Amino acid sequence: MTETFQPLQETDPAEVGGYRLAARLGAGGMGRVYLSHTEGGRPVAVKVVRPELADDPDFRKRFAREVRAARRVRGAYTAEVLDADPDCAQPWLATLYVPGPSLAQAVARRGPLPVPALLWLMAGTAEALRAIHAEGIVHRDLKPSNVLLASDGPRVIDFGIALAADATAHTATGHPLGTPAYMAPEQASLQQVTAATDVFALAQTAAFAALGSPLYGDGPGVDVLYRIIHSAPELTRLPEPLRPLLARCLATDPAARPAPAEIVDWCRQRLGADGAPAVWREIGVPEAEVPPPVP
């Protein structure tokens, strides 16, 4: 198997909710992710909740609510939620498998993306946010590891779902929910989170793809959050064509940020009618061979 697909271990289940597991895909804050297939042979990613979260009744309620909302999302640039069981002993959900690395992995391998690919990345991710927000969901944790790079464009994953796990771990301590380097000021200061919060995170994610590092720097989370709340971003390091849009997306006032639909139009106007497939191929993302279904 490639580094994308890791063999199952003795501690891994052979089957989850009728899905025979073929390989490990990775792990996150909520649990471990496996490769499986539908009965027709289509690859899916099955995320199994960690046991300590499964034992928390409040988590189960939040998880069930978030899954119901996420299953309504339909978008060309999202990984659709296909199936889930929030009530079983170890809750799980299954989404369409996206054959491609995360944005974080791609940048680590090849470095920053060229401007045309950045425009297509922003347009596709903004279109995904438009579909997510249409169902009343705020992602809250949009970041490079939650944007997968398929051969025909980006796919946004984990929309809304991360809230259930993060709330269980952090709400009682008063910590903000999300990943510090990609939070908006209102999120970092525990104020109201809205769809505009995701727009700020989209700009930070695009800036990472352009720079190869977080826009507000690295270091302890509390230091990064302080800079996000109190400091203006250093936009001169970013490619000049993107600065006007990113400056608006990174406005401290959420009301001053553009809506995802406006971001899509802005990027597409600069890409041209038929530039998207060509610029996306510049990234050169190789597709790994997916292991076959388990008999």
pLDDT per residue as tens digits for the range 247-262: 999 999 999 999 999 9
Residues 275 and 241 in one domain: yes
Q: Tell me, what's the pLDDT at 254? A: 97
Range ranked top by mean pLDDT from 59-63, 117-121, 148-152: 117-121
State how beta strands 81-85 and 43-49 pair: unpaired
Nearest to 164 by CA among 91, 250, 103: 91
pLDDT band at 117 (very low <50, low <70, confident <90, very high): very high
Q: 170 in helix, strand or coil?
A: helix
pLDDT band at 3 (very low <50, low <70, confident <90, very high): low
Is residue 289 included in any domain, yes or no? Answer: no
Mean pLDDT of 142-169: 78
Task: Look at the pTM and tell me if it is higher than 0.85.
Answer: yes
Residues 28 and 134 in one domain: no
Q: DSSP string spanning 191-235?
A: ----HHHHHHHHHHHHHHHHHSS-TT--S-HHHHHHHHHHS---G
Residues 169 and 274 in one domain: yes
Number of domains making up the chain: 2
Q: Tell me, what's the pLDDT at 169? A: 45
Residues 21 and 136 in one domain: no
For the ranges 39-48, 190-199, 226-235, 272-281, which has the lowest average pLDDT?
Answer: 272-281
Is residue 260 included in any domain, yes or no? Answer: yes
What is the domain range of residue 55? 15-96
Domain's final residue, options 96, 129, 148 = 96
Is residue 210 included in any domain, yes or no? Answer: yes
170-216: per-residue pLDDT in tens?
Answer: 444 444 557 889 999 999 998 999 999 999 999 999 999 999 999 99
**Of 12, 55, 85, 141, which one is the catalytic site residue?**
141
Contact, 99 vs 43, CB < 8 A? yes
CATH number, domain of 61, equals 3.30.200.20
Told to judge if 141 belongs to the known catalytic residues of this protein, a careful annotator would answer yes
Residues 171 and 132 in one domain: yes
H or E element: which one contains 147? strand 147-150
Q: Tell me, what's the pLDDT at 62? A: 87
pLDDT band at 2 (very low <50, low <70, confident <90, very high): very low
292/275: higher pLDDT: 292
CATH number, domain of 160, equals 1.10.510.10
Residues 123 and 66 in one domain: no
Nearest to 207 by CA among 291, 142, 266, 131: 142
pLDDT band at 24 (very low <50, low <70, confident <90, very high): very high
Report angle CA 158, 269, 124 to the nearest 5 degrees: 10
pLDDT band at 283 (very low <50, low <70, confident <90, very high): confident
Residues 186 and 126 in one domain: yes
Domain's final residue, options 96, 127, 158 = 96
Domain's final residue, options 80, 96, 112 = 96
